[in-house]
Amino acid sequence: MRLDVITIFPEYLDPLRHALLGKAIEQGRLEVGVHDLRQWATDAHKSVDDSPFGGGPGMVMKPEVWGPALDSVAARESAANLESALPHLNRPRHDELEGVEAQAYAVDATADEDSDLPLLIVPTPTGKPFSQADARAWSNEEHIVFACGRYEGIDQRVVDDAARRYRVREVSIGDYVLIGGEVATLVIAEAVVRLIPGVLGNKRSHEEDSFSDGLLEGPSYTKPREWRGLAVPDVLTSGNHGLVDTWRREQALLRTWQRRPELLEAAELDKDDKAFIAQLEKEANTQGEG
């Protein structure tokens, strides 16, 4: 996969060279290009913004700068590749498993789209909420470009025009407003790259993550068995894998029911899951009455 990021703060994207992403770069599974938008600015001050038509506060990013930047990056004319920050290649993580096969997720392309076009992700609070399903689908992409807005955002014609050479997604990472698109890009890039087949050595790591089966993951514990008077649940040290699996499933259901009950409506629940939820609801009702 190749990721290109266009930004006025290239140094903000340095985390893309570290840890798992740095390792993916080193393994040749990922290339990352970070491009300073100002190189496409043509005036003496290298300005990238101007006042909004119709008045109002703030500045809007200029189409004459963004248009050529997106043309050039779509055509892969501008390299600017990041080097991995750490030499990881010969140091497998402790949880990596020998012989784990890389397995791709289903591809997300609507029927009328030309999937040969690169994917352009435009982070914006007005976009469609980013989800684990998007991360999974985009982990199959060959070329993803991120356009990082600042100020009041990018002139809308840039997004409309880009649809001629990209598949465009305007995406929000949550119902709050950041200063710029760089942090949103880091969030999305990290969620996508860890799902590229082969990037996580142990495939089970993400198959059991929150949202993969529509539920939140339950709590995790490590050594020591007792810490500050708090003990690890007995079942986890019982050596009985069947009981551990049942306990983990129930903890996932319990946490989802407590924190994100709306997820339960879309999750695939079997007879035992439904009985467990019904029991939780019964107990809650009894406590409410008492």
DSSP 215-263: S-------S-SEETTEEPPGGGGS--HHHHHHHHHHHHHHHHHHH-THH
Task: Indicate the SS3 state at residue 200.
Answer: coil
Q: How far is CA 77 from the centre of its chain?
A: 26
- 135 binding ligand SAM? (CB under 6 A): no
Q: Check binding of 62 to ligand SAM (CB under 6 A).
A: no
Give the pair of three-digit tokens for residue 284. 């809650």
Residue 96 or residue 160: which is nearer to ligand SAM going by CB?
160
- For the question of residue 160 being annotated catalytic, the response is no
Residue 125 is a binding residue for ligand SAM (CB under 6 A)? yes
Position 172 contacts ligand SAM (CB under 6 A):
yes
Q: Which stretch binds ligand SAM (CB under 6 A): 67-75, 96-104, 145-153, 204-212?
A: 145-153
Is position 71 annotated as part of the catalytic site?
no
Q: Does 173 bind ligand SAM (CB under 6 A)?
A: yes
Q: Do 198 and 209 contact (CB within 8 A), yes or no?
A: no
Q: Determine the Cα–Cα distance for residues 189 and 194; give it in Å rounded to an integer.
A: 9
Asked if 126 touches ligand SAM (CB under 6 A), the answer is yes
177 known member of a binding site = yes
Q: Is 10 in the site for ligand SAM (CB under 6 A)?
A: no
Known catalytic residue: 228? no
Q: Contact 9/33 with Cβ under 8 angstroms?
A: no
194 is catalytic: yes
Shortest spacing between CB 190 and ligand SAM, in angstroms:
14
Which one, of 217, 221, 240, lies nearest residue 232 by Cα? Answer: 221
Binding window for ligand SAM (CB under 6 A); candidates: 16-24, 84-92, 150-158, 205-213: 150-158
230 is written with which tokens? Answer: 């708090």
Binding mask 81-120 vs ligand SAM (x if CB under 6 A, - otherwise)?
Answer: ----------------------------------------
Q: How far is CA 237 from CA 217, 229, 232, in A?
A: 19, 17, 8
12 counts as binding ligand SAM under rule CB under 6 A: no
199 marked as binding residue: no
- Structure token digits, residue 128: 């469609």
Please enumerate, by residue number, every residue annotated as part of a binding site. Answer: 149, 173-178
Please enumerate, by residue number, every residue annotated as part of a binding site for S-adenosyl-L-methionine. Answer: 149, 173-178
| Active centre residues (catalytic) | 125, 152, 194, 209
